[in-house]
Each structure stands twice: as C-alpha cells, then as structure tokens.
Amino acid sequence: RKEVEQDPGPFNVPEGATVAFNCTYSNSASQSFFWYRQDCRKEPKLLMSVYSSGNEDGRFTAQLNRASQYISLLIRDSKLSDSATYLCAVNNRADSWGKFQFGAGTQVVVTP
C-alpha cells in the first residue's frame, strides 16, 4: 500500500461548481501537509500548505483530519484555469523534514 493515496479522477466539474477531493496518508507521524498543482507536462507548484486548523486561500480551502489521516482540498466557483492535477504531499520531522512523500495526483477537469 502506498504511503500517500489519492483518487486519480478525473473529476469533471462544470464551471462555477464546487469540487472536493481527499488524500489519505498511512504514516501517523506525518506532521506537515501540502497541496501542489501540476499542469500537464509541467513542474508541480505549491498551491497551499495545510494547517491543523484548516486554511483558506481565496476559492481554495484545505482541511486536515488527523484522526482519519487525510487531508482535503475544496475548490469553490471553479474556473477553467483550475483544470490541472492536484498532488498532495506529506512530510515529518523524523526525516528532518527532508522526505516529502507525494500522492499520484487527482485530475480535475473544469468544463464550460
């Protein structure tokens, strides 16, 4: 079983709708969490870090559920430009915050 798992999708979302998806992690020692966005054949770029209390950045909301060991990303009022693959990443102090573990990504396709 992979340490970090994501539903690969695709999630087909009408423009203006809301989409949400999760990422589960198996290492209970995981302490820092991130969402990255990756456009087709491009490098991943940080979308947002995920804090224990949850956090919001514009139309994007990230949540952490430590008890069930997953993080979530919600996108409100989806735009065509939100079409991408969203990768989650986890890290922990045991490896001096050095070994980021990534999920395989969730593809989101926003349609007109």
Q: Residues in the site for another protein, rule: CB under 8 A?
A: 4, 6, 8, 31-32, 34, 36, 41-46, 49, 87, 89, 91, 93, 96-105
Min. distance of Cβ 4 from another protein in angstroms?
A: 8
Min. distance of Cβ 19 from another protein in angstroms?
A: 20
Which candidate, 15, 1, 2, 3, places its Cα nearest to that of 91? 3
Are 64 and 1 in contact by the 8 Å Cβ rule? The answer is no
Nearby residues of 95 by Cβ (< 8 Å), 6 or more positions away: none
CB-nearer residue toward another protein: 8 or 14: 8
Min. distance of Cβ 18 from another protein in angstroms?
A: 25
Q: What is the DSSP letter of 95?
A: G
What string of DSSP letters covers 22-69? EEEE--TT--EEEEEEE-TTS--EEEEEE-TT-EEETTEEEEEETTTT
CB-nearer residue toward another protein: 16 or 97: 97
CB-nearer residue toward another protein: 7 or 76: 7
CB-nearer residue toward another protein: 30 or 78: 30
